[in-house]
Every structure is written in structure tokens, then in C-alpha cells.
Amino acid sequence: MSVAKNLKVRAGLLSGLILVAILGIWYVATASAGGAASGAGLTPEQIEYAQMMGQDPSAKKADGFPTLGQMGETVWSHLSRPFYDNGPNDKGVGIQLAHSLGRVALGFGLACLVAIPLGFVIGMSPLLNRALDPFIQVLKPISPLAWMPLALYTIKDSTLSGIFVIFICSIWPMLVNTAFGVAAVKKEWLNVAATLEVSPLRKALQVILPAAAPTILTGMRISMGIAWLVIVAAEMLVGGTGIGYFVWNEWNNLSLSNVIFAVLVIGVVGMLLDLAFGRLQKAVTYVD
Amino acid sequence: MWIDTSALGGLKTAPPAPAPDLTASAGKAPVKTPLLQIERLGKAYVADKPVFADVSFTLDRGEFVCVIGHSGCGKTTILNVLAGLDTATAGHVFMESREMVGPSLERGVVFQGHALMPWLTVRQNIAFAVKSRWPDWSAAQTNAHVEKFVQLVGLTPAIDKKPSQLSGGMKQRVGIARAFSIQPKMLLLDEPFGALDALTRGTIQDELMGIVRETHQTVFMITHDVDEAILLADRILLMSNGAETDQGYKPGGIAEVVVNPLPRERTRATLHHLDGYYDLRNHIVDFLVSRAKAH
């Protein structure tokens, strides 16, 4: 017990050290670059010319890699006002995140509704399993973004196209895992259900579903991971709202500190989603 | 004599009595129809070489019948056919003079590997069976019934544990309690103690015998253990494997039916002191060694 605790403490300490080292390198690297970027080396004529062109060299420069201090300011300004809305191109990061999560939830939810029942049927029917296998094998490796033009053409709505892309990318891991989990349910449990004359629906819900639940949850967890990867790229393409669009927009503004902040947010939210599914998975796992 | 081979020949020719005749003649002549009648059962995976063929026997109400034979002789297949989980390629099975089709709640099965659902507790596992048998019962009624049968196998302290928290013997007890809880007309046990150590096996054998005597349950059980068969069974079916002989392929089947001559009130502790025990045991062991033809 004490050894495990000791390990935990030591690992935590090491993580902290690594973080400090990264921040230290960042600080050192940006401090020297920031000093050279001032207007010190310019003649008065050049400064005047620059001012006439609308660029003030004495003003604080917004471009270039942000220093640690600028980064801190950005983080603070976002976290203190996450839900402001100043029109289409200036919304709080909370609102952007809510848009992305909403799309993922919709696309992922639809995929669940299709993949789990279909996976059940495929898992129970060797005929369907074989018949559908070539389609699944061909469709599965397609990059979700490759569907975007077709989606935009047929659906004619960028938001719905984004949801469709999430749907199509989350469906495969869930479908394959559900089918596998259902097909691998132990024969003896099915025999028990048979000798007890359990109805097909009750058998599906009370025997096969709990037996296959850990495998199904694994599929859902993988799908959610992919969906969160894809939403950022999809939103960069379709634009409008969402954390992916926010990244693209801040890139166009050349505001790297905002981009870095958004990247961190994407990472943290992805981790939280994975943690949530990990919890769910643990809840349905049984020891045989 | 305790070797009753005449029962075999007699059964083969006897057609099952139709149900209406039974009720009509019940008043006059005490015709005792067997609970289960198996007629010329056969199973072939390869068309001309059935694993077993012409297997016929009966089970009376309250009777305990064991099957002994080497692996591969088709014991489990016969049990699965009786359970309705498998189909025979030849022959018929009649339960109370009606041909049996598919699995039924009238036949409880104790599986070799307990077959408990690991995501359910002991209580839930048995409740699953009870709810299947009596779907209209209230939760309290179901629970009372479950607790009664858990107590029967002495597992009340572990009733809310998951199977993974139980020992092998306890799991098998839960399997037995589950099979008894639906109060089937007959019980099918497929080597229920095969995976248990000798000490645990002895205890559960005693328990099973106690419950069967108390409930007058009809039991059909597969075993590899000669002593287990002698302890528990009223009749022992000895099965031989299919084999190539000089006259061609000879399918497996019931070679002999042995009626247990020992008093029914026998116990495991005193079994080997009973007169006739060693004769019976030697007879069965001789059969297994010299005549059953192991593969």
C-alpha cells in the first residue's frame, strides 16, 4: 500500500517537474525573441514610414510566438469570460465548445442508435455478418473528411454536414465491436436462457446486452475519441462556430496565444470525455 | 440380480401409450407410465457412423439415473437432447407420453461449468430463473422463493455476492439452486461436480442427495465418477463408445443397465461398508476398463 502511494507521489512530482521544465524552456525561448522584435533597429524615417502605413512599431506586437506572460493573460481572459457573444466571429470559448460538443453528441448519438442495434443483428446472424462484412471493411478506413463534399452536396447544410461526418466516423468502431461482443457471448449463457424459455427480447436485453456491454463500451470509447479528433477538422472546413472554427479563425488573426489556448482546451475536453467513457466501461465490466 | 438387461429389450418394442388412454385406464389398472421415455435415439455427425444409436430407456418419477461412459460416447449429447438444446438424428423422446420439442421449463439443467451470469449476484441469478418460470409473481414473492432455495444449498450468507467472489463449489451450488428453484419435473445434470476437488465434491454430493430425497425430484445425471454414481443413482446406465469391429462399425449405446441394489438410505461415509458395494463397483469398473472401449 505504502509502496503504491509512494509511487503515486513520485509520479506526481515528476509530472510537475516536466511541466516546470516545459514552461521554463518556453520562457527562455520567447524572452530572447521578444526583445529583438522591438523597433530599436529602425531609423526615424523608417518608423515614420511605418506609422504612415498604419503599423506602429512602438505598439506591443501581437504576432510572433507569445511569451509566457502573454499566454497567461490570454488564458485568464478566456477563463474569466467563457460565454460572451460579440457577433459571429467573436464568441467566448465556452460557447464554441458547447457548439462542438453539441455536434459531437448529436452525431455520436445517432451513430449509437444505428450501430448498436445493427451490430446486435450482425453479431447474432452469421449470414448478415458475412454479407455486410465487405461493405464494412471498405467503408471503415475512409477518412471521415472525405465524405465532406458528398455530405455538403446532398445535405446542403454545413452544420448538418459536420454532424454527418461525426456520425459516419463514430459508427464503425461501435458497429464492429458490438457485432464482435454479441457473437462472442458464451454459449452456456444462451443455453441457460434457452432452457428457461426466455423470450427473445428479454434474452437480448438481460443476457446478451450485459454480456457484450464491456466490448460495446470499448467501441463507444474508441468512437468518441475519433469523433473528438474529427470535429476540430470538420469545423475548420465548414466554419461558423465551434472550437475547430475558433482555432482556424485565430490562426487567420495570427493570434497564436489563442490558438495555443484552444489546442489545450481541445486536449483537456478530449481527456475528460475519455475518462467519462472509461468510468462507464468500468461500471459494466464483470469478472468472469 | 442387479443386472437388469431385460429392461432394455422390453422398452424398444413398447410404444408410448397415448395420453387419453392413460386417464381412462388409470382407475382400473395401475399402469405406471414413466415420466420420460427415450426411444431408439441416435446421433450421427458422419452419416454412416453414428456416435450412438438405438438408445432407449425410461425414467420413472422420483428416480435418480446416472450415465457412465468414456468421453466421446455421446453422454452429453443425450443430455442435451433431453434438455432440448440439441437434436438427435434418429429416435424420439416422450415426456409424460408427449413428444418433446425444444427446451422447456419442465426440465431444469445444471451445466458442467455452472453457467452463472457473472454480472448478476447469486440472488439475481436465481431470480432470473424464477422470473422466467413465474413472470406474474410480485417482487416480494420472487425474492422469498429465491431466498428459500439459496437457503436449501446453504448459501444465505453469500446471497448478494457476485459469482466471481465465490469458490467453485459455491458456484456449482448456486447452479443447483437455480435448477431446483424453477421446480422442474425433472433435473438434468451434466457432470456437475467434474471441476470440483474431491472434498468439495463429497459435500455437495451429500447436499444434492438430501435435496433430491426431500423433493422426490427425478434426476438424470452424467458422471465419470463410479462412486458418485453408486452413491446417488437408483439405476446406472453404462454406455459404450462406437468402434470399428471385424463385422464393421458398431455405434455406441447403452451396453447395460445396472440397478443399484444398495439400500436407498446410504451415505457417503458408510457406502463402502455396505454389502454388495464392492461387487457393484468392480462390475462397473470392469465394464469401463474392458468393454466400454475408450478412445
In chain A, domain spans: 94-284
Q: Which residues from B are below 8 Å from A196, CB to CB?
A: 105, 128-129, 132-133, 182
Q: Which residues from B are below 8 Å from A195, CB to CB?
A: 83-85, 103-105, 107-109
Nearest by CB: A188 against B103, B105, B111? B111
pLDDT digits (tens, 9 = 90+) for B86-131: 998 988 999 888 888 889 999 999 988 889 999 999 999 999 999 9
Residues 158-217, chain A, touching B (beta carbon < 8 A): 186, 188-189, 191-192, 194-198, 206-207, 210-211, 213
For B159, counting Cβ atoms within 10 Å of its Cβ (0-12 exposed, 13-18 middle, 19+ buried), the class is middle
CB contact under 8 A, B103 and A194: yes
Predicted confidence at residue A226, as pLDDT, reads: 94
Quickly state the pLDDT bin for A82 (edges 50, 70, 90): confident
Mean pLDDT of A237-251: 89
pLDDT score of B230 more than 70: yes
- CB < 8 Å & 24+ apart, contacts of B229-232: B229/B66, B229/B68, B229/B284, B230/B260, B230/B262, B230/B271, B230/B277, B230/B280, B230/B281, B230/B284, B231/B205, B231/B266, B231/B268, B231/B271, B232/B64, B232/B66, B232/B205, B232/B208
Predicted confidence at residue B48, as pLDDT, reads: 82
B interface test, pick of A195, A198, A209 with most B CB neighbours within 10 Å: A195
The architecture (CATH level 2) of B6-18+33-106+184-291 comes to 3-Layer(aba) Sandwich (3.40)
Say if CB B255 and CB B283 are below 8 A apart. Answer: no
pLDDT score of A62 more than 70: no
Percentage of residues in chain A with pLDDT exceeding 90? 63
Predicted confidence at residue A238, as pLDDT, reads: 85
Predicted confidence at residue A68, as pLDDT, reads: 85
Quickly state the pLDDT bin for A284 (edges 50, 70, 90): very high
Give chain B's contact residues with A (Cβ, < 8 Å): 83-85, 103-105, 107-109, 111, 113, 115, 117-120, 128-129, 132-133, 162, 164, 182
| CATH class of the domain comprising A94-284 | mainly alpha
pLDDT digits (tens, 9 = 90+) for A99-145: 999 999 999 999 999 999 999 999 999 999 999 999 999 999 999 88
Predicted confidence at residue A255, as pLDDT, reads: 86
pLDDT score of A163 more than 90: yes
Closest Cα in chain B, distance from residue A197 (Å): 6
Predicted confidence at residue A180, as pLDDT, reads: 95
Instruction: Please check whether residue A3 touches B, CB under 8 A.
Output: no
Smallest CA-to-CA distance from A268 within A249, A243, A286 is with A243
Determine the residue of chain A that is closest to B118 in CA distance: A288
State pTM to two decimals.
0.81
Instruction: Tell me what ipTM this predicted complex has.
Output: 0.82
Instruction: Give chain B's mean pLDDT.
Output: 85
Quickly state the pLDDT bin for A59 (edges 50, 70, 90): low
Quickly state the pLDDT bin for B5 (edges 50, 70, 90): very low
Closest Cα in chain B, distance from residue A239 (Å): 46
Quickly state the pLDDT bin for B74 (edges 50, 70, 90): confident
CB contact under 8 A, B115 and A195: no
pLDDT digits (tens, 9 = 90+) for A168-200: 999 999 999 999 999 999 999 999 999 999 999
Say if CB B255 and CB B265 are below 8 A apart. Answer: no
Mean pLDDT of B243-253: 83
Quickly state the pLDDT bin for A49 (edges 50, 70, 90): confident
A interface test, pick of B79, B104, B117, B181 with most A CB neighbours within 10 Å: B117
Find where cell 424453477 sits. Answer: B182
Determine the residue of chain B that is closest to A288 in CA distance: B118
pLDDT score of B21 more than 70: no
- Backbone angles phi and psi of B281, in degrees to 5: -65, -45
